Structure 1
Amino acid sequence: MDKLLWEPAPVPRRGPRPAFTLADIARAGIAIADADGLAAVTMQRVADQLGVTKMALYRYVPGKAELVALMLDIGLDGPPDLDDRDWRAALDAWARALFAAFVAHPWALEAAVGARLIGPNELGWLESAVAALTGTGLRGDEMLDVAVILVGHARNLAAQTTATPVDAEGALDDAIAGLVAGREDRFPALSAALREVRPDQQNQALDFGLARILDGVGALIADRGSGATGAHPVP
């Protein structure tokens, strides 16, 4: 499996060239998952999409677990170009790009959990986040923790967005308001907060969360008394 993700397929010296690349196969699986979800991806269905037999597909990919790993790595693609940005702007762009990737491929939220083999594109996302923080004075474990927190925020918001794609936050506010109505004495704090919510303040959870997370990171960097060095200085 390591070779499947990390090493290019060898080109045969003799005989016909392979009809498909691993990327071709992964993209066929991605098309199915985007349309019908990860559970709909089977070796048979991917083979049908490619116009080959299932046994022929097994000559390229050993099974569904390996196929999903390829799909995830190709579906996420690589991180955005963060050159010439300070650490905060870089991580903001990084988290928004990851959120967009999860929204574009909701099945990836299910695939990117648990113990599994990580491919080069997915590892490249982590490399990019750590590189953005290099020179800020944070320790290695802290840089990794920042990346994990940002991934969690992007994942959670993407899951909410894809589950209720139209005005997810507004729908939640409306649902809570409906439950609180007539029960204001029991839930006075919620009732007061809901009265202050305006339509233009909804659907800002991604922005708000990113700003607060990065505020905290900035405060930690400032407390260390370190000015940033390198390509990503502290703003």
Structure 2
Amino acid sequence: MRRRSIRRAASFVAAGLIIGAGTVGFGTGAGSADTGDRTLTLRVHSAAMDRDIEVKVRRPADASGPRPVLYLLNGAGGGSDIATWWRNTDVGGDDDDPAWAASDPVLNAEMLRGTKLFISDSSGLPGPHDRIDDGYLLNPTPLGLANQLMTGGVIEAAVNWCTQNLRNRLNELGIPATYDFQAAGTHSWGYWRDAFHRSWPVLADGLGLPE
């Protein structure tokens, strides 16, 4: 049970933690297509699922120097439906696999020392983006809003619990971080966009770029 909790904590905290710009992947590149508008579509082969997965890469407008690159992974369901890595792959391993503890940011918080950290999440309570007319609601219907409120609320509440544990551990170790805890908001795109904008001063500082 303890390892299962570690596994969940690692998964939830990863959803609420922004450390820098980059990507980690499993598989080999299978091809790419350039749309000409700074967006590159990569086809990455997943050995676990035995098929190609499209990954959108948003490149900087000015590539003359170091700039952030966004890797937009599939998963519009936010992990709340069957289109999840957990269901479709065996990457995670068994509940007693030591990889869960090795990937837990709370257990391995000391490794974050010296890294610019922006840690953000919401409470799970309804917020300004939880409206049927919100432009970031994936399914702008009463059912879609209900799903965002219920499923997104439960997920974000769990994220908040795990992220508070991470903050407590970082404080114990004296590791500084920028915290962005919102009183309201569900696990959904509008809030992630807002948090990304708020994170830019921290990311820019870490990358040595002007705000």
Q: Quickly name the TM-score band, shorter chain normalised.
A: under 0.3
Q: TM-score scaled by structure 1?
A: 0.25
TM-score, L = length of structure 2: 0.27
Whichever structure has more helix as a proportion of its residues is: 1
Structure having the higher strand fraction is 2
Is the radius of gyration larger for structure 1 or structure 2?
1
